[in-house]
Chains A and B, each alone.
Chain A
């Protein structure tokens, strides 16, 4: 466990010293400040607009960090061969993967919490304190980011940076469209198309199952069983993806 934490700390240090992370953070902060201006212009809907834009910023920038920093933090270790000295220590490859994943999750948690605090401050400035639902939506969003980060690491174990980034971006876009996919699958006349889309539906992560954006924006009740289902689904999905990544990486030759 100590090895995993040491690798995670190092990965966290690498990410926060990465210019890409700092650039994304600046853009995210700029977007939240923009929500303050838009919020003040939309009479009567300041809170809704601010929380909507805030959650949107947390989702988009969190996803970009999960994909770009997640992939690069892993693939740089291989491409720059820094992994050689790490694996020469009493550290196995599964611990290395878990350490890298934990490191990126630390970055995502810090980023999500910092942005949520910023949105809350903006809401307070508008005289509208943030709701518990808003914070719950942030936590669920962090779980969704955890799924994306696991995929980013898994792709980085089998390919180079560019391919892994493209693959994870593709899965992320597809993952936001899984509801449409199952709709199409059930309407298709061709049984092969139906079969393939149904398989894809079950393989791709259903990112909508973590989203409470609609509830936050419209101040709606959380559907019954939503949180427990999302937690079980998210944690299982992450465990399976990281398990497969470890299985593959344990057999990979580091030429």
Chain B
């Protein structure tokens, strides 16, 4: 896996639309930049309306950018040879509902130039892979949203693309379905594919991405490694302790915050300078110390923090 080669590069992308009766301009994208390296799973994170789908549409030449550049596999998405190496799964599953899953994949396979003999072999394998082999000859109009997401993923990978662009691939799936699709994405990465996927579900990014870009109000507000963005907060610590009496708990809460309270123990958040005295107080009070570690913020914390800082900077 080459760490250096960029497979998707977006620089200073701008796009506005005319909206309403008065056709007032709406700046959907004001400055979007990021680059996706070959072989990685790259997260594209942002709240609803941040411009994720508009960015994907611009990358896929469905809308024209007003400024900035997009390079897909070193070239332009307008080039059919480039498109042959890309699989797109758009947001919301809008597919030809009158086709069966098999016919739908045949249609997309033929558009990619795959021959009938190959498709005959490949389609059942693909549907098996996405967990739809039982619904091969069922019309898509009878599919649930989760099933449509799966068949959408199957059409995106039918031509064995180098780059997969997936717009909210995990939405509409139940927990098992989410885990299945995440595992498929990880398997595809092992096969050498690059995956660029948008989501507003932070835990999915945390679980499968190496790097991500965060978008807000049409602007890139952060880009980097997931591990760096959720680096431990050295100013705050979490202490987990068991066997804490109500009196002890009451006294400890004077200089700490209770994060979790369950049978197995309590989790407190304290400042770095209070760690020693806090631990001493626990031991003296007869509590059992289970864990002491620097607090690791969730991606949600990071996300909200960046959004807050951006809003403050704009003011």
| Segment 182-214 of A: residues with Cβ below 8 Å from B | none
Q: Which of B93-101, B210-218, B282-290 contacts A (4 or more CB under 8 A)?
A: B93-101
Interface centre among B84, B89, B103, B108 (most CB of A within 10 A): B108
Neighbouring B residues of A7 by C-beta, 8 Å: 111
| Segment 88-133 of B: residues with Cβ below 8 Å from A | 88-90, 92, 94-96, 98-99, 103, 107-108, 110-113
Interface centre among A2, A80, A84, A91 (most CB of B within 10 A): A84
B178 within 8 A of A: no
State in angstroms the CA–CA spacing of A90 and B84 once bound together.
6
The minimal Cβ–Cβ distance linking A101 to chain B, given in whole angstroms, is: 17
Say yes or no: B86 contacts A2, CB within 8 Å.
Answer: no
| Segment 1-16 of A: residues with Cβ below 8 Å from B | 2-3, 6-7, 10, 13-14
The minimal Cβ–Cβ distance linking A226 to chain B, given in whole angstroms, is: 40
B64 within 8 A of A: yes
Say yes or no: B111 contacts A82, CB within 8 Å.
Answer: no
The chain B residue sitting closest to A90, CB to CB, is: B80
| Segment 43-81 of A: residues with Cβ below 8 Å from B | 80-81
Say yes or no: A88 contacts B17, CB within 8 Å.
Answer: no
From B57, B64, B111, A91 is in contact (CB under 8 Å) with B111
The minimal Cβ–Cβ distance linking A94 to chain B, given in whole angstroms, is: 12
The chain A residue sitting closest to B87, CB to CB, is: A88
State in angstroms the CA–CA spacing of A18 and B107 once bound together.
18
State in angstroms the CA–CA spacing of A177 and B80 once bound together.
45
A254 within 8 A of B: yes
From B62, B110, B112, A84 is in contact (CB under 8 Å) with B62
The chain B residue sitting closest to A84, CB to CB, is: B90
The interface size bin for chain B is: 20 to 34
Question: A90 with B83: in contact, given A6-B107, A84-B90, A85-B90 (CB under 8 Å)?
Answer: yes
Say yes or no: B99 contacts A84, CB within 8 Å.
Answer: no
State in angstroms the CA–CA spacing of A254 and B113 once bound together.
24
The chain B residue sitting closest to A87, CB to CB, is: B62
Say yes or no: B98 contacts A80, CB within 8 Å.
Answer: no
B81 within 8 A of A: yes
State in angstroms the CA–CA spacing of A56 and B62 once bound together.
42
The chain A residue sitting closest to B81, CB to CB, is: A90
The minimal Cβ–Cβ distance linking A69 to chain B, given in whole angstroms, is: 13
State in angstroms the CA–CA spacing of A56 and B245 once bound together.
93
Say yes or no: B111 contacts A89, CB within 8 Å.
Answer: yes
Interface of A is mostly: loop
Neighbouring B residues of A90 by C-beta, 8 Å: 80-81, 83-84, 111-113
A255 within 8 A of B: yes
Say yes or no: A86 contacts B111, CB within 8 Å.
Answer: yes
State in angstroms the CA–CA spacing of A255 and B56 once bound together.
11
Say yes or no: A3 contacts B111, CB within 8 Å.
Answer: yes
B281 within 8 A of A: no
State in angstroms the CA–CA spacing of A91 and B90 once bound together.
17
Say yes or no: A89 contacts B83, CB within 8 Å.
Answer: yes
Say yes or no: A84 contacts B80, CB within 8 Å.
Answer: no
State in angstroms the CA–CA spacing of A88 and B157 once bound together.
12
A180 within 8 A of B: no
Question: A82 with B63: in contact, given A89-B112, A255-B17 (CB under 8 Å)?
Answer: no
The minimal Cβ–Cβ distance linking B142 to chain A, given in whole angstroms, is: 14
A128 within 8 A of B: no
Neighbouring B residues of A2 by C-beta, 8 Å: 110, 113
Say yes or no: A81 contacts B92, CB within 8 Å.
Answer: yes
Neighbouring B residues of A91 by C-beta, 8 Å: 80, 111
Interface residue ranges, B against A (CB under 8 Å): 17, 57, 60-64, 80-81, 83-84, 86-90, 92, 94-96, 98-99, 103, 107-108, 110-113, 152, 155-156
Q: List 14 A-B contacts (CB under 8 A).
A: A7-B111, A10-B99, A13-B103, A14-B98, A18-B98, A84-B57, A84-B88, A84-B90, A85-B156, A88-B88, A90-B84, A90-B113, A91-B111, A253-B63
Q: What are the 4 A-B residue pairs with the smallest beta carbon separation, nearest first?
A: A90-B80, A88-B88, A81-B94, A89-B111
